[in-house]
Amino acid sequence: MRILSVARSFVAGAVAAIAMNVATGASAFAQEFVKVENAAREQLSAPQFVGAAYAFIWLAVLGYVLFVARNLAKTRTEIAELERRIERAGGAPPSGAGGRGG
């Protein structure tokens, strides 16, 4: 039933589109350029485009710096916590070769 209803809507839409094309002579217009009257013009000025591009770029960079700096601070806190736990347990923290070495 649902398929029939969808098919019926599709056929009705197609008939309406054909009828509109015939009524407006769209097929004839499609063969030539048509002057557009009162077309929407660009609302934003060039400085606004430049400002938007510049703002996006530096906000992206700033956001990235904040993201990395926050994660770095959090990771360093966790490292300090683990080092304290190891020292409390009487062990020595590993040398750190895995942190920097290849």
C-beta separation of 87 from 93 below 8 A: yes
Query: Binding to other proteins by residue 25, rule CB under 8 A?
Result: no
Residue the block writes with tokens 């015939």: 22
Residue 6 or 82 having the CB closest to other proteins: 82
Residue the block writes with tokens 């929407």: 40
Rounded CA-CA distance 20/13 in Å is 11
Rounded CA-CA distance 85/91 in Å is 9
Rounded CA-CA distance 87/82 in Å is 9
Nearest approach, Cβ of residue 37 and other proteins (Å): 18
Nearest approach, Cβ of residue 23 and other proteins (Å): 31
C-beta separation of 76 from 70 below 8 A: no
Query: Binding to other proteins by residue 75, rule CB under 8 A?
Result: yes
Pick one of 12, 15, 17, 50: the residue that binds other proteins (CB under 8 A).
50
What residue ranges bind other proteins (CB under 8 A)? 42, 44, 46-47, 49-50, 52-54, 56-58, 60-61, 64-65, 68-69, 71-72, 75-76, 78-79, 82-83, 85-86, 89, 91, 93-94, 96, 98-102
